[in-house]
Amino acid sequence: MDKKILLVDDAAFMRMMLKDTLKKNGYENIIEAADGEIAVQQFKQEKPDLVIMDITMPNKNGLEALKEIKTLDPNANVVMCSAMGQESMVVDAIKSGAKDFIVKPFKGDRVLKTVQGIIG
């Protein structure tokens, strides 16, 4: 399984949790970014199969980065992560082209189901 996944979250431990879950399930090719600005650069360079991105981040938030990524590649697979109570942002994200969203705190099986549903 050589699908490339870009994890974007300003909290390193969140990226680590996601990475652990994905690696345990055979997704080895994982890139990380700590904010939306870096995420867009990484997307351009790496062309990942899937982006899992937090909504609330410094420099450039997830919604801004999502819109930029969708401009670069209208077919980009982006899944947004949000904390409870960010429903309006999630709606914006879906309208802006996000494929799905995951609510924090993450549940491993929910993350996997979402990832497998999008990139197999």
CA distance 52 to 67: 14
| pLDDT tens, position by position, 11-63 | 999 999 999 999 999 999 999 999 999 999 999 999 999 999 999 999 999 99
Under the banding of pLDDT at 50, 70 and 90, the label for residue 70 is very high
Which domains does the chain possess? 4-119 (3.40.50.2300)
CA distance 15 to 34: 9
**Does residue 34 contact residue 16 with C-beta atoms inside 8 Å?**
no
Average pLDDT, the chain: 95
pTM: 0.95
DSSP per residue, the chain: ---EEEEE-S-HHHHHHHHHHHHHTT--EEEEESSHHHHHHHHHHH--SEEEEESS-SSS-HHHHHHHHHHH-TT--EEEEE-TT-HHHHHHHHHTT--EEEESSP-HHHHHHHHHHHH-
